[in-house]
Amino acid sequence: MSDKLAKSFQYFSKMSTLKKVLIVFAALLIFIIVVEQPGTDASKRKKSEKFFIPEMAIEQVQKLEIKSPNNEKSVVLEKSDNQWRVTNGHSLPADESKVSDFLNTLLSLKQGDLVSKNKDRISIFSVNEAKGTHVLIWDAKSKSVADFYAGQPVSEGQYLRRAGSNDVYETIPSLTTYLNEDSDGWKDKTFLSVKEGDVRRLALKSPEGELVLEKNQTSPWRVTQPEDYEADSLSIRTLFDQLKQVKADAFADTVDGSQVNFDKPEYKISVRKADDTLILVLFTGPDKEGKYYAKNPDSTFIYSVSKDLIDNIFGLKFKSTATTPTAMTPAKTTK
């Protein structure tokens, strides 16, 4: 034993029991931190996990292209003024929620087992150009963020191969839900979205006439035209449940707006909000297939909607059989 080690041992022997315990505890703590690397099982797995697109930052993604063998045309999504749009063909608003979910799913793709390195077996997993779905992602500087082929789904995941590589991986989760969509499936077809609390007057005009609903802050909803009575609360709830998000079947992007006459609409929704904003939606039709066209006069977009959607809104009855109409001063009307 060296002199320094002997002196250290003697010094340690003369220490109080409390100091000895503290030194031993500190040594054990250092050992655990350095060697054992404490943490939950989830955090340990997170450190050991490999992600298929490890360096992708969602906020930097500017453009996506999805080339599926099942679709005649590629899906092209581009961000402009911080809004996503479907840009192949006509430039139309994209479903922001769907794009966000897709990007977050890509970010979470876990690179699992390497199932093949043989280029002759690529087609077996459908990750080649002929069978696979080609996904390309760029940032704002047109720099490639990701470039890969998605193939057959398997278990909870899918086979993926990076472009230019022969390595085929089994990844989790599957992207099939998103990759099977054509361009129309990525478009935001919502043409009206209002909340009950934001509305003070609502008019529904149809070939049968015009029904006007109004609400004061201290009173329930009332029908003020064609007659005056308290509106059935269940019908009001049903109406606004529908108006929270009214979606069309499709964009009528192949229709020349001049060929559709909105001057004398068959149906009209007029919403006067609490801040005095006015929202109008006009419906005209039907066409040869029984579809109607919908349009906001302030927008250039024309939507294709079903007669069922119109019936669900304009067919509501607001007079409750349990309610006897009573006279009251109607809410102030703003047209």
Q: What is the pLDDT of residues 4-21, one digit of tens each?
A: 545 555 555 666 666 655
User: Do the domain assignments include residue 287?
Assistant: yes
Q: Which of 116-125, 199-208, 239-248, 254-263 has the lowest mean pLDDT?
A: 254-263
Q: Which of 26-30, 64-68, 227-231, 267-271 has the lowest mean pLDDT?
A: 26-30
In a shared domain, residues 156 and 274: no
Give exposure, 14-46, as e/b (b: 16+ Cβ within 10 Å).
eeeeeeeeeeeeeeeeeeeeeeeeeeeeeeeee
Residue 240 near residue 264 (C-beta atoms within 8 A) = no
- Indicate whether 227 pLDDT > 70: yes
User: Do the domain assignments include residue 173?
Assistant: yes
In a shared domain, residues 152 and 212: no
Range(s) of the domain holding residue 87:
58-186
In a shared domain, residues 226 and 308: yes
What is the Cα–Cα distance from 216 to 177, expressed in whole angstroms?
A: 45
User: Do the domain assignments include residue 221?
Assistant: yes
In a shared domain, residues 70 and 166: yes
In a shared domain, residues 81 and 162: yes
Distances (CA, A) of 319 to 83, 217, 232: 42, 21, 6
Count other Cβ atoms within 10 Å, centred on residue 125: 22
- Indicate whether 271 pLDDT > 50: yes
Helix-helix angle 233-243:307-314, to 10 degrees: 140
| pLDDT score for 254 | 55
Q: Which of 169, 166, 174, 132 is nearest to 52 (CA)?
A: 169
Mean pLDDT taken over the chain = 85
Count up the domains in the chain and report the number.
Answer: 2
Q: What are phi and psi of 184, to 5 degrees?
A: -65, -35
In a shared domain, residues 155 and 197: no
User: Do the domain assignments include residue 228?
Assistant: yes
In a shared domain, residues 284 and 195: yes
Half-sphere exposure of 46 (CA within 13 A, CB side): 6
Q: How far apart are the first and last CA of the chain?
A: 101
Residue 106 near residue 53 (C-beta atoms within 8 A) = yes
- Indicate whether 181 pLDDT > 70: yes
Q: Which of 57-61, 193-197, 217-221, 245-249 has the lowest mean pLDDT?
A: 217-221
Q: Kindly tell me the burial class for residue 286, based on how many C-beta atoms sit within 10 Å of its own C-beta (0-12, 13-18, 19 or more).
A: middle
Q: Which of 100, 154, 104 is nearest to 124 (CA)?
A: 154
Element (H, E) at 243: helix 233-243
Q: What are phi and psi of 262, to 5 degrees?
A: -100, 5
Last residue of a domain, one of 152, 186, 220: 186
Q: Which of 32-41, 91-100, 153-162, 240-249 has the lowest mean pLDDT?
A: 32-41
User: Do the domain assignments include residue 21?
Assistant: no
In a shared domain, residues 260 and 296: yes
pTM of the complete model? 0.70
Last residue of a domain, one of 161, 186, 211: 186
Confidence at 58, pLDDT banded by 50, 70, 90: very high
In a shared domain, residues 204 and 136: no
- Indicate whether 38 pLDDT > 80: no
In a shared domain, residues 90 and 138: yes
Confidence at 115, pLDDT banded by 50, 70, 90: very high
- Indicate whether 72 pLDDT > 60: yes
Confidence at 331, pLDDT banded by 50, 70, 90: very low
